[in-house]
Structure 1
Amino acid sequence: MRVVFMGTPDFAVGTLNAIADAGYEIAGVVTQTDKPVGRKQELKPTAVKAAALKLGLEVFQPRKLRNNPEFLETLKQLAPDVIVVAAYGKIIPKEILELPKYGCLNVHASLLPKYRGAAPIQWAVIDGEEKSGVTIMQMNEGLDTGDMLASVEVAISKEETGGSLFDKLAKAGAELLVETLAKLEKGDLHPVKQPAESPTAYARMISKADGRIDWSLPARKLECFIRGMNPWPAAYTYMQGKGLKIWKSRVETGESGEKPGTVLAADESGLLLQTGENALRITELQLEGKKRMKASDFLRGHSVKRGTVLGE
């Protein structure tokens, strides 16, 4: 079976390697264009491009897919039996979806129909879900609305971060995709249609600005939010005009009557903050321009008075 693989970030690398390890013929790899990074704005290849080149595979980086007859002709010449898509980052037009014999399969990091969209991993943690997973979907023109071909559940631990769940789902997705390809060849797949409406809000892409903490939310929601935003863009607030990233926290019950964001205590246990409901103990943080550290270590070198209000 000839496969064309389409993917861009780290999440997709495991799936590409798994397809290669399983012995499938990879006719080509499609990824997004190199992006400038750092102060010098040097072009950096995508994670998938770097992995593909290590495997000796031909890489294609079209600037657009829609209304691109030249790239469509290239795909036709590659003659894939199936196109596998994992976090490619662009909408696949109809003429590409219908090109391969078996269509396009998508590795989606949620248990569809929940968490359709670009950032299902982070939103599952932010929303306090107890489980997530991966769904292999037959792609159509909708946004993650195609028939479900296979799925696997992955538990979300109480300490789970967006980053740790990312790693778990990348591994699970790679294994599930290879199993699905084997069944596809044998004609042993049983597609299940999705309902028209998703039981959750669309898992929209997250931006750096989304990491700002709203102290009026309940402590439980904030604790999930901090884990979901770890490692990027990181949950942050402001203290005396400087940015303060919050890496770890825990919920503590009790009400003080103080304004949300107010420091209730600053000691060896960390910073205790009033929230919209109960309090949140900050145990690991990072002040702007400084390294990440335990809150207790931070407080040995920084005086934070009770009554200080964060976020202003």
Structure 2
Amino acid sequence: MLCRSKPIRTMTPRFDAWRWLDKEKIQRITSPNVNSPTFVEYVKGLNIDLIVVFFFPQILKPALLQTPRLGVLNCHPSLLPRYGGPHPAFWMLKNGESVAGVTVHVMTEKIDAGDIVAQQELIVGENENAGQLTQRQHHAAAVLLTEAVNAMAQGALNPKPQNIAERTYFGKKKAADTVLDWNASARHIANLWRAVQPYEPLAACLNGTTIKIYDAQSQEGPPSERVPGEIMAKESGTLLVQTGNGYLEIRSYEIVPFHGWLNRILQGFMLPVGSRFDRVPSAMGLASKAAS
């Protein structure tokens, strides 16, 4: 929450948020539950005009939403009304979207459903991962929020209702959503890998052996008689695996639970050409991913 008498400006990120707030002598307070009566009363005592929310994990309830005189603005990392809900970067990349973006909208009780104040479209790079896309969304959001707050101060905002008929909503990412299915196309699997990077690897299992995939890309190729999940070729540190359509080139991986030089030695004689990965990771593999 910012209280300034002059227009705000876009800040080039050089420090973390806490250090910047301290440097600018802006009051800050943390709260594990912003909807608690104690925190709501604290906010009411500030007599604030506007609340701005950005990539915030808590859902604001009516008591807090109705506190500021001008309401609440939220910045959501997608082009609403599409991809409402948490983790939109994950879902957009997994689904192979070529266009992403950010939206500033009026926050309402219904999640990501308020009137749209401003939007910016971002073209998704062919090999861009979730971390890279999120970073670009942060930069775009800083500009959009700056413009929106200043427009509100000048009474120049023109919010427009969302077309609810076009709304799509995706829930929280679960371990089951990151399961590698070798019957899918190589492009689909590569999109899934992009969607979880750089936060976690994909997991694949072969006869009880789990590997973690840290780098992969899809390859086109003529149809073959190999079955999905079969290792077609192998070189130092890389694997070429048949998928339901095309091939997945695994360019960096580890054999669990080994690392470093021991892992490189084991790669030399484990996972031979012709062996086949399981269709889905084992239950143990999913559990470890959920915990990571």
> What is the TM-score normalised by the length of structure 1?
0.77
* 2: CA distance, partners of 1:49 / 1:212: 37
The question of whether the paired residues in 2 share the 8 Å contact of 1:3 and 1:81 is answered with: no
Which of these residues, 107, 120, 123, is aligned with residue 155 of structure 1?
A: 123
Aligned partner of 1:62: which letter? S
- Residue 255 of structure 1 contacts residue 279 of structure 1 at CA under 8 Å; is this kept in 2? no
Q: Which of 82, 92, 108 is residue 140 of structure 1 equivalent to?
A: 108
Q: Over the residues paired in the alignment, what is the CA RMSD in angstroms?
A: 2.8
| 1:19 to partner: Cα distance | 5.8
Matched residues, number: 270
Report if the CA contact (8 A) 2:255-2:267 is conserved: no
Quote the residue 1:179 is aligned against.
147
Q: Aligned to 1:73, which of 34, 41, 45?
A: 41
Q: Which residue of 2 aligns with 1:130?
A: 98
CA 1:289–1:131 in structure 2 vs 1: closer, same or farther (change >3 Å)? same
* 1:114–1:199 CA contact under 8 A, matched in 2: yes
In the TM superposition, residue 279 of structure 1 has moved relative to its aligned partner by 1.9
* Unaligned ranges ≥5, structure 2: 282-292
TM superposition shift of 1:126: 1.2
Q: State percent identity of aligned pairs.
A: 29
Question: What is the CA distance between 1:259 and its match in structure 2?
Answer: 2.9
Instruction: Kindly provide the amino acid, as one letter, of the partner of residue 215 in structure 1.
Output: W
SS of residue in 2 equivalent to 1:133: strand
Q: Is the 8 A contact 2:220 2:247 kept in 1?
A: yes
Structure 1: segments with no counterpart, 5+ residues: 5-17, 23-46
Q: Which amino acid counterpart does residue 236 of structure 1 have in structure 2?
A: A
* 4+ runs deviating over 3 angstroms: 18-22, 47-59, 197-200, 207-210, 289-293, 297-303
What's the TM-score, normalizing by structure 2?
A: 0.82
Distance 2:259 2:72 in 1: 44
Give 1:220 shift.
Answer: 1.3
Aligned counterpart, 1:59: 28
Q: Is the 8 A contact 1:254 1:279 kept in 2?
A: no
SS of the aligned residue for 2:2 comes to strand
SS of structure 2 residue aligned to 1:213: coil
**Aligned equivalents of 2:254 and 2:23: distance in 1?**
36
Q: Does residue 258 of the first structure (1) align with residue 257 of the second (2)?
A: no
Aligned residue in 1 for 2:53: 85
Are 1:206 and 2:173 matched, yes or no? yes
Quote how far apart the aligned CAs of 1:178 are.
0.5
Given that 1:285 and 1:292 are in contact with CA atoms closer than 8 Å, whether structure 2 keeps it comes out as: no
Name which of 99, 107, 112 aligns with 2:67.
99
Structure-1 residue corresponding to 2:290: none
Note the alpha carbon deviations across 1:65-90, whole angstroms, 9 max, x for none.
34x22111100112221101012111
Which structure shows the higher strand fraction?
1
